[in-house]
Amino acid sequence: MAKKEKEDINEFIDVKAEAKANTRISMKELIDGSILTRKSMVVQMPFIIFLSFLAITYIGNRYHAEKVIRDMTKLQEQVMDLRSESITTASELMFISKQSEVVKMVKASQLNLEESVKPPIKIKR
């Protein structure tokens, strides 16, 4: 039994040494890609692919969000410009629709119109 025990111990030491050698990652294995063919890496490949998919999705989502924010900023600037233009136009319209301004514009364009002296009357049915 002593011989068998020594063989078992030697086999155990060999398995441990092989496992230890398999856990070391050399730069050469990393560069040439042979690290991806190890059994431990092959078992973990679905998880690595899942993590890669999540990373790509996260990056794409961030780019999309930044694009939406840029578009929102542009639209807000356009709204501000259009709003100020609307206010300016409304104030100009109110100014030129005053009675005194209408009289000035009629005289300037020589339409031969006269301002009514009589107040308007209400028509009743």
Element (H, E) at 28: helix 27-32
Residue 26 confidence (pLDDT)? 74
Contact call for residues 88 and 81 (beta carbons, < 8 A): no
Place of tokens 């009629």: 106
**C-alpha–C-alpha distance, residues 68 and 74, integer Å:** 10
Tokens of 88: 């300016």
Tokens of 115: 């301002």
User: Where is pLDDT greater, at 17 or 63?
Assistant: 63
Q: Where are the domains of the chain?
A: 1-37, 45-109
pLDDT band at 44 (very low <50, low <70, confident <90, very high): confident
Helix (H, G, I), strand (E, B) or coil at 120: coil
**C-alpha–C-alpha distance, residues 104 and 110, integer Å:** 10
pTM, two decimals, is: 0.51
